[in-house]
Structures are given as structure tokens and as C-alpha cells.
Structure 1
Amino acid sequence: MSFAADQNAGIGDRLRSIWNQSGKNALPADIASSNGRIEAEHVLVAAKFAGRVAQVLAEEGQTVEAGSVIARMDASDLQAQLAGAQAQVRRAEKTIAEAEAALTQRDSELVLAHQELDRALTLATRGYGTTQQLDLRRSQLNVAEAAKRAASAGLDEADAAADAARAEVARVSSLVDDAVLTAPRRGRVEYKLVQSGEVVAAGAPIVTLLDLSNVYMTIFLPSRAAGRLALGDDARIILDAAPDYVVPATVSFVATDAQFTPKTVETSDEREKLMFRVKLQIAPNLLRQYEARVKTGVRGVAYVRTLQTASWPAWLQVKLPQ
């Protein structure tokens, strides 16, 4: 009898302890909560063109800076194309020089033809020249003018050929540059999808990066709570893996359409079933400070205020690792 009484008293103490603890951490009426998980923006570093991967330098779990070399494609064919395109540029430039020299020669011939015609006109005026000589000088002038136009057209053609050759050099050089795959932003290598020596198609992903400056938690809230949120409002996140810490966040997105909608919405209870997606962003400077601790997929509970003037309870005050 006394054992049973002691046992019942122990159970009562435990229940009172649980009640006191739940009352201590009771959620205020103006604060809503929802489960979620930590996510980060994924960036695919992919090959621009098909070919063989010469070298993959990044390793899974490695943090890389923006512009760091991730991988290199085999560019031997492109190097050969580039050498050929550069040779075409040199040939076109030589052709331009020859066309300019020919144009200079035709200019000189045209000047001489004008002078010869002027002399012939003077002699004909004084009675010392013949009509045949005058016609010959006019014909020579016409030939010189035609030759100059042809030389000018040849120079234009040579310029166009040089421009085309330079454009081809620029195109191939761009492909050679694209053969070196770099990180578009700072992040952590999540997956290494290709090994050195493998042949990949155009657009094939080589590695997956996690953008450590864009980490967030996505939660779903009923319409009553989501409708009262303000973009930029404070939020709190408590992770299952670190329940002793309270991580600050900011409401950065509230969906305009419900994610879960019943077939018919006729009563207030059914309207409460409308769930809206909410995104809680963690500040980049905070992420940089605790970068080594940032992991995606970690689940937890997020808290948001449905009344902007509401105060956070003591147990939801920001608390971070030292």
C-alpha cells in the first residue's frame, strides 16, 4: 500500500514537472510555430560543351572561393582551332597590307592620269595636240579611276576577312576559357559528380555547390498566421540537433497562393487548412561566422510573430554558440 502510494506520488511529481516545464515554455498567442529544415541554394558547375574532363580539382566538403578553379576540360582540339584562327588573322592582316599598297599605287596612277589629261587639254587648246591623244588620256583616266575603285573594294574585303578571323579567334578563345570551370560564388562542394578522364555531354554538371551565404528554412503556416506576417520581420529557429541555441532569422518570403487547399472551402475550420509557404532567411554575416557548423537537411522548429509589437519570450531570445 505504501509502495503504491509512493509510486503514485512519484508519477505525480513527474507530471507536475512536465506541466511546469511546458508552462514555462508555453507559446504566446501572438507567436506561431512550424516544423522545417535547413536548406541552402544549390549551384551546379557544369560543362559548357561536350568533351573529356581532364581534371577535377574540387573535393566534397571543400569550401571554395568565387573564381576558384573547380575542373578543367581537355582543350587540345580547341587549342589547335585557336592556332588556326590566329594564323588566319595574320594572313588577313598581310592581305590588308597588300591591299593598302595596291590602293596607294592606284592613287598615284590616278594622279598621273589627271596630269596627263590636263597636259593633253592644254596642248589641244594651243593647237599642238590631236583629238586622238586627248581621247587616249581620257581613257587612261577612266581606267585609273576604275582601278582605284577595285583597289578600294579589295581593301574593304581584306578588312572584312580580318574582322571575321578576329571574331573566330574571340569565339575559340572563349571556348578555351570555358574549358576551365570556376566557382561562380563562394560555397561548399556538396557532390563531386564526375571523375577525371570521364567524357561528359554539354551542360553536364561536374560538381554541386552549396551557397553558404543563402541558407534558409522553409515552413508552412495556416492562413490566419501567414496573413499577419510582414516581410523583414524577425523569426527564431531552434534546431533539433542543437536545442540549446536560438538562431535569429528574417521572414524573406510569404507565398501568395496556398500550398495545401481542400476541394471546397466553406467553413472557418476548412480555411484554417490553407497552408502558405514561408521562407526564413538567416543573415549572411551570421552564416559566415558559423560557416563550419552550417549543414543542410537539419530539422527544427521555427517561430514567427503574428503581431509585430509582440515580444519574444525569454526562452526564444537569441542564443548562439560562443
Structure 2
Amino acid sequence: MDMTWKKAKAIGSGRGLLRASGESGMSRALLRRWVCFASLLGLCACWRESGGLKISGRIEMDKVHIGSKVGGRVWKVNYDEGEATSAGAVIVALEREEIEAELAGAQAQAAQARAQLDLLLAGTRAEDLRRAEAAVQARQSELDLRRKGFRAEEIREAEAQLVSAKSAFDLARRELERAEALIQTGAIDQQQLDSRRTTFETTRAAVEVSEQRAQLMRSGSRPEEIAMAAAQLAQAQAELERLRNGPRPEEIAAARAALDAAQAGVAGARTRLAETEILAPADARVETLDLQPGDLVKAGQPVAALYLERQPYVRCYLPENRLGFTRPGMRVSVTVDSFPGESFPGIVRRISSEAEFTPRNVQTTEKRSELVFEMKVDLVNSGNRLRAGMYADVLIMPQP
């Protein structure tokens, strides 16, 4: 056996190290440092045994840290450390009332945007068109009236009303004068005098109104009134034309964009609501979970660590000069100290494409013998008896 092989064997065997250290007089403290150094670097023991190759490594399992993208207050914790979970199980639930209200508001906005779009797509209702047509006719009649002025019959009627108002006023004036004379002699009381004075004031106001109306009938509408009537007619006609043409394509596009934005708000609120339930991504076992109802958690903060219930694997390091002993897909045997005399079947998953040195800063040609390749070996049919962190030996037998 060459010197390199002996060194590799010495590194992997604890008893060999003890013997070597005893013979060389190495102190126990120095020996402990050497063993820790070898373990941390991952250079596992490797030697031939019964024509095969044995490599030491450690068992590992896939571990995930789960949390929520939204923060909040813990409402319920459904699992304890060490318990098994199934895929999709709710590990921790956060309070959701605030986000539920946010979702309801977003849904209301989406419904409003949908109704607005449907209204534009449906076009103008028949009753709206009839109302706009009637408004145009009324404005047209008013403008025609302003332009033509009043009829002769209306003018004569207004003048006749003025004459009648003046006659009533003259009568009321004479009655008031007579009442003022009689009050001096005591023939009438104060109440009768007040009644005649009220009649006088009423008839005088009626004369003023009648004079204004008659004057309006004689002169007709002012130019400003005609212009205002024409503007009101144009506005009514424009509204009727708008209703007949229906909504513009730009208005429909804007309504669609508003609906899309509202629906996006609903989707975002639903996503945030779903984040209030922290789920197991796959079948797993809870490793660490230190929460109680009422605790506050931050957004993006891991709240639990889970070991996935997938087949464990051994991470070990294959020396460069033993690279030809194995290949991906090759079947191997694995033993652990916890189950002496029992081996577990394994399959080489991968061998790293890039080598690394142990230690990394190689200074001499002799140190190249410590060039290694990382190798992962999947453990099959282990029956959930193996745990992460166990030390394991991988036995690779020569293939025929």
C-alpha cells in the first residue's frame, strides 16, 4: 500500500489516529484539534476493505425554513416540534381580519368597474334618447319664441290687464281717502282703515306688475336672452348627438383598464390573505418552531424549520486518485454506528464536476493527493430510522 493510501486510512480511522499519535508522542489536545480539523474540512476516511472502497461522511436531509410574505399576529399554532406534517398542512395561522376587509374593498371596486364597463358596452338606452330629443324640442321652441316675440293677442291682453289694474288702484285710492276722513269723526274704527290701506297697496303693486308685463310684450326678448336660448339649444343638441353615437373607444378602453386594475387589486389581496396560512411545502417533520398565539412575526421572517420527508443522503468526499471506483447511479452499501451489523442500500446521486483541495491552500506537489470530489449518496429503504447529522460509512464494491 502506497504512502497516500496509508495517509487516507490514518485520517479515516479513529483508532489508527490514536495509535499514530501514541507512537509519535503527540499530545491529546493536539490530537483533538487534528480530528476536528479533518471533520470540518469534510475529508472522510477512505481505505480498501475486502477489495472495496470505504468512504466516511455524514447523513444529511433537505431542510426548509418556512414563513409568510406578510407580517401579522399569530392566531394559531397547529404543530409542535418533532411532529410529522403532510404537504399543504397549516403549520401556523396568522390573524386575517384586516386583509379580509382589504379584499372586500378590492372586490367592491372591481364590481363597480365591471358595472361601468357593462354600461358603456350596452350603449345608450332608448328612454335616454327620448329624453334628450324632448329637451332639444323644448329648447328649440323657446328660441323660436324669443326670436318671434309675442303675438298681438297677447299684447292686447297684457294692456287690458294693465287698464283693469289701474281702475282697481284708483278705486282703492278713493276708498282710502274717504276712510281717512271718516276716522276723524269716529264713523269707522282703525281696523277698517287698515283694511282699506292694505287694499290700496295691493292694487298699486298689481299696477306695477301689469305695466312691466305690457312693456315686455311690446318690446319682445332682449338680444342676450335670444343668445342664451340659442346656446341652450346647441348644448341639448350636442347631448343628443353624444347619446346617439354611444361611448367612444377611448372611454371603453379606459373602463377596461380600470377593471383590470381593480381585478389586480383583488388578486393581490387574495394572495396576501393566503399568506396568513403558513403551509408545509411537502411531507415533513417539524424541527424548530418557537411561537405562541399572540406573537408578532415580520414579513419574510422564517417561523419554523422543517426536515422534508424525503430520502436522506450521505455527503462524502471521494479522493481524486479513487475517482474511477464509482459513478452516478452506482449501488453502494452504507453503515452507521447506531445500527451495528446492519447496512442500508444506497445509490450514488452525483459526483461534483469540480475538485477541491483539503486544505484549500495547496503549497506542494505532495499535497495534491488530498484533492477530493464531493459525492452524494441517496439512502433508499431506510425506514425513517436515520437522522441528519449521523456519521456513515459508504462501501463501494468493485463492479465486474
Output the TM-score relative to the length of structure 2.
0.56
| Counterpart check, 1:249 vs 2:346 | yes
1:68-79 paired onto structure 2 within 5 Å: 68-79=89-100
Query: Any residues of structure 2 matched to 1:273-288 within 5 Å, and which?
Result: 273-283=370-380, 286-287=381-382
The amino acid of 1:308's aligned partner reads Q
Aligned partner letter, 2:312: V
User: Unaligned 5+ residue runs, structure 1?
Assistant: 1-25, 113-135, 310-322
Q: What count of residue pairs does the alignment treat as equivalent?
A: 249
Could you say which residue in structure 2 is the equivalent of 1:308?
Answer: 399
For residues 276-310 of structure 1, what are the alpha-carbon distances to aligned partners after superposition, in whole Å with 9 as ceiling and x for unaligned?
22111112xx14xx12x2322222322123x322x
1:27 and 2:49 correspond: yes
Alpha-carbon separation, structure 1, partners of 2:371 and 2:112:
71
Among residues 235, 250, 255, which one is paired with 1:158 in the alignment? 255
Q: Are 1:264 and 2:264 an aligned pair? A: no
For the residue of structure 2 that corresponds to 1:80, the secondary structure is helix
Q: 1:98 to 1:146 in 2, by over 3 A?
A: closer
Structure showing greater Rg = 2
Partner-residue secondary structure (3-state), 1:226: helix
Contact 1:262 1:274 in 2 (8 A): no
Distance 2:73 2:334 in 1: 45
1:203 and 2:309 correspond: no
Which is richer in strand? 1
- The C-alpha deviation readout for 1:182-228, integer Å capped at 9, x for no partner, is 11111111111433321112211121111121311111231111343
Give the aligned residue type for 1:264.
Q
Aligned-CA RMSD value: 3.0
Distance 1:142 1:103 in 2: 12
Q: Identify the structure with the greater helix proportion.
A: 2
Distance 2:357 2:281 in 1: 32
2:327 aligns to what?
230
Q: Please give the alpha-carbon distance, in whole angstroms, between the structure 2 residues aligned to 1:175 and 1:62.
A: 27
Q: Secondary structure at the match of 1:214?
A: coil
- Which residue pairs with 1:298 in the alignment? 390
Q: Distance in 1 between matches of 2:245 and 2:253?
A: 12
Which AA in structure 1 matches 2:255?
A: A
Q: Answer yes or no: is 1:43 the counterpart of 2:43.
A: no
> Using a 3 Å threshold, how does the CA distance of structure 1 residues 301 and 250 change in structure 2: closer, same or farther?
same
Of residues 284, 288, 292 in structure 2, which corresponds to 1:187?
284
Residue 102 of structure 2 corresponds to residue 81 of structure 1? yes
- 1:86-97 counterparts in 2 under 5 A? 86-97=107-118
The corresponding residue for 2:272 is 175
Matches within 5 A, 1:108-187: 144=241, 148=245, 150=247, 152-187=249-284
Asked if the contact 1:103–1:151 (Cα under 8 Å) also holds between the matched residues in 2, the reply is: no
CA–CA separation in structure 1 for the residues paired with 2:287 and 2:88: 17
Task: Write the distance in 2 (CA, Å) between the matches of 1:227 and 1:237.
Answer: 19
Counterpart for residue 60 of structure 1: 81
CA distance in 1 between counterparts of 2:305 and 2:125 reads 60
Report the AA paired with residue 365 of structure 2. E
Q: Is the 8 A contact 1:103 1:152 kept in 2?
A: no
CA distance in 2, matches of 1:210, 1:202: 22
SS of 2:274's equivalent?
A: helix
